[in-house]
Amino acid sequence: MEKFNVDLQPVGRRVSVPAGESLLSAAQAAGIALIAICGGEGLCQECRVRLISGKLTPLTLVEEDSLEPADLKNGFRLACQASPLSDVKIEIPPESLTASQRLQVDGQEEAVELDPQVIPVEVTLPPPSLADLRDDLSRLREGLVSLDHFTLSIGLPVLVQFSERMRSQSWQGRLAMGRDGQVVSVLPSSLPLFGFAVDVGTTKLAAYLVNLEDGVISGRQGAMNPQIGYGEDVVSRIAYANQGESHRHTLQTRLVETLNNLLADLCAVARVTQGQVVDAVVVGNTAMHHLFAGLSVRQLGQAPYVPALTEAVVLPASQVGLALAPGANVYLPPNIAGYVGADHVSMLLATHAWEMPGVTLALDIGTNTEICLSTGERLLCCSCASGPAFEGAHIQAGMRAAPGAIERVQTIQGSLQLSTIDGQPPVGLCGSGILDVVAELLANGVIDVRGVFHKNAEGVVSTERGGAYLLVPAQKSGHHTDILVTRKDVNEIQLAKAAIRAGVEILLIEAGLKAQDIEHFIVAGAFGTYLYLPSAVRIGMFPDLPHERFHQVGNAAGIGACQMLVSRTRRAMATEILKRMEYIELTTHPQFSDTFVDMMALKRN
């Protein structure tokens, strides 16, 4: 039987399948789990993929009916409906993958002009002799004069490395040099230079090893932020840090230990020595930034919540404990405000949201959701307290995205269908699952716009704490107890969505615009990338805009950090963003309270 190669990107798997096999089966054969709630019937539209090259069977009627015209134009297909007619290359968007196959380190990359802060300089120096008794430093300084590097500076640890390395390398070597003439590392000739980029999230860390000479990300790895043990969210972590100097120190060292482990793993996989890692960029929200840099966070816990500093800083890596090359520095991009940090700046850089023509709104959903509105002339931003509901906290059956978490819920042919992470029996709901449930209960008339259960609706049961919806009965759940969605759960989602949408509306009011004026709606971050957009629109968390105006971009903050590693222009842009940004404080905004109350209603608007 004829066979075709299916190249699945960006995961980079290839599989050969017999003619007639669907792309869904091909992905399954390659060990890639696409979300397929309807079991491949063409009813759920979860298995969207995009054809990059090659030929597929013609569009089915189901695809013509269910895919948006813009998606069809861009080559999107339903994997369960399309089969290869030749060798094909297919792109799988992150929202079509089950959570277990997604990394919070993924984001949309782009080639950036290479202009790193640290560059290689090959040197060959005359060895000392009885006729040439110059000391090592003078020998280097005079050797570099001919290379036009006349403002040489070298710290003692690098000088130690220099004396030893140059002798063992017959006075030939490669210096990693900062543009300001600072020697960062001494390496064997031709060894490439790397940088370390990190997005320090309150919950998760995303780390990247980047080749500074070609800009390619050589490795990426995620880990939990070890500070979680000292406080789940920013507020409790600040409270812990404020209990004393030693507590703040603990948070700093625990974080840096984990970053050093991530770096060691990335280096081992890429066969790179830590001496080759000559620069770093660390982004995070303002509290994470301050804790990493060893700054006080006391003022971030008290009104008016001002940061210790907003401007970009460069710190010696050794001062913060990062195990890079002996003279390496760490660049921390600017923060905007106490609750709008360098991670937001980095996201704006990577997505170009700050410089796009027209009206662009970009947000990153978390316990605090940072929102930026670019009108083409003005840049405005705010932070809203959206709470931890979308991380599964404060939800009765809530959990993080882990095996058995319900991550997608849809009504198919009149009944709710669930998709769980790794296809395990359901044990709870992660953020995207609880968002979907509320949207489906609303669409099915089980709850009203106030979030109140209709007593007589199918599936509504009464519990000690009032009405609830029985999502999974005990006999079908992974822990043999009912999975319920309570009135309080619905209310938590209402509070979160009202906070986010009110933030969006206040920025629009400040700019004299309406939601319909938004031409690009960029949703960044792990949760934002995997949430089901129609659910967010249905409950009014996002404005009711045409589908093609939304862009789910993954961990753009991490990608922005990688860009700032290889480009000084991007660093300058980060400072430009800080200068242009108008921060809007929501808590004192005269229209915030009323807007927030209005936005509590669960309805498309």
Contact residues for ligand FES, defined by CB under 6 A: 36-38, 40, 42-47, 78, 80
Here the tokens at position 343 are 């991670």
In whole angstroms, the minimum distance from the beta carbon of 45 to ligand FES comes to: 5
- Kindly tell me which of 259 and 439 has the beta carbon lying closer to ligand FES: 439
CA–CA dist 293, 316 (Å, integer): 10
- Kindly tell me which of 44 and 564 has the beta carbon lying closer to ligand FES: 44
For residues 207 and 283, the answer to whether their CB atoms sit within 8 Å is: no
CA distances from 528 to 39, 141, 432, 455, 555 (A): 25, 52, 9, 32, 9
- Kindly tell me which of 43 and 234 has the beta carbon lying closer to ligand FES: 43
Here the tokens at position 190 are 């031709």
Query: For residue 107, which phi and psi values (nearest 5 degrees)?
Result: -160, 170
Cis peptide leading into residue 304 (ω within 30°): yes
In whole angstroms, the minimum distance from the beta carbon of 37 to ligand FES comes to: 6
Residues 27, 28, 34: CA angle, nearest 5 degrees = 70
In whole angstroms, the minimum distance from the beta carbon of 39 to ligand FES comes to: 7
CA–CA dist 521, 536 (Å, integer): 13
CA–CA dist 487, 461 (Å, integer): 11
Residues 564, 567, 569: CA angle, nearest 5 degrees = 100
In whole angstroms, the minimum distance from the beta carbon of 92 to ligand FES comes to: 13
- Kindly tell me which of 39 and 425 has the beta carbon lying closer to ligand FES: 39
In whole angstroms, the minimum distance from the beta carbon of 102 to ligand FES comes to: 17
Query: For residue 356, which phi and psi values (nearest 5 degrees)?
Result: -70, 145
In whole angstroms, the minimum distance from the beta carbon of 36 to ligand FES comes to: 3
In whole angstroms, the minimum distance from the beta carbon of 14 to ligand FES comes to: 22
- Kindly tell me which of 43 and 381 has the beta carbon lying closer to ligand FES: 43
Q: Which strand ranges, in their side-by-side order, compose the sheet holding 313-316?
A: 217-224, 204-211, 194-200, 277-284, 329-332, 313-316
For residues 287 and 300, the answer to whether their CB atoms sit within 8 Å is: yes
Cis peptide leading into residue 10 (ω within 30°): yes
Burial of 223-250, coded b for 16+ CB within 10 Å and e otherwise, reads: bebbbeebbbbbbebbebbbeeeeebeb
- Kindly tell me which of 514 and 547 has the beta carbon lying closer to ligand FES: 547
In whole angstroms, the minimum distance from the beta carbon of 550 to ligand FES comes to: 19
- Kindly tell me which of 96 and 360 has the beta carbon lying closer to ligand FES: 96
- Kindly tell me which of 48 and 290 has the beta carbon lying closer to ligand FES: 48
- Kindly tell me which of 81 and 202 has the beta carbon lying closer to ligand FES: 81
Give the number of residues written for the chain: 605
- Kindly tell me which of 21 and 46 has the beta carbon lying closer to ligand FES: 46
Here the tokens at position 174 are 């490669």
Extended beta strands in 434-548, E state: 460-463, 466-472, 483-486, 520-524
Based on the number of CB atoms within 10 Å of its own CB, is 131 exposed (0-12), middle (13-18) or buried (19 or more)? exposed
- Kindly tell me which of 450 and 547 has the beta carbon lying closer to ligand FES: 547
Hey, which residues does 380 pair with through a beta bridge? 373, 582
- Specify whether the backbone of 270 is left (phi greater than 0), alpha (psi in -120 to 50) or beta: alpha
- Kindly tell me which of 35 and 259 has the beta carbon lying closer to ligand FES: 35
In whole angstroms, the minimum distance from the beta carbon of 22 to ligand FES comes to: 9
In whole angstroms, the minimum distance from the beta carbon of 32 to ligand FES comes to: 14
Residue 41 has a CB neighbour count (10 Å cut-off) of 13
- Kindly tell me which of 26 and 281 has the beta carbon lying closer to ligand FES: 26
In whole angstroms, the minimum distance from the beta carbon of 80 to ligand FES comes to: 3
In whole angstroms, the minimum distance from the beta carbon of 26 to ligand FES comes to: 13
For residues 409 and 35, the answer to whether their CB atoms sit within 8 Å is: no
CA distances from 36 to 401, 412, 416, 443 (A): 17, 12, 14, 21
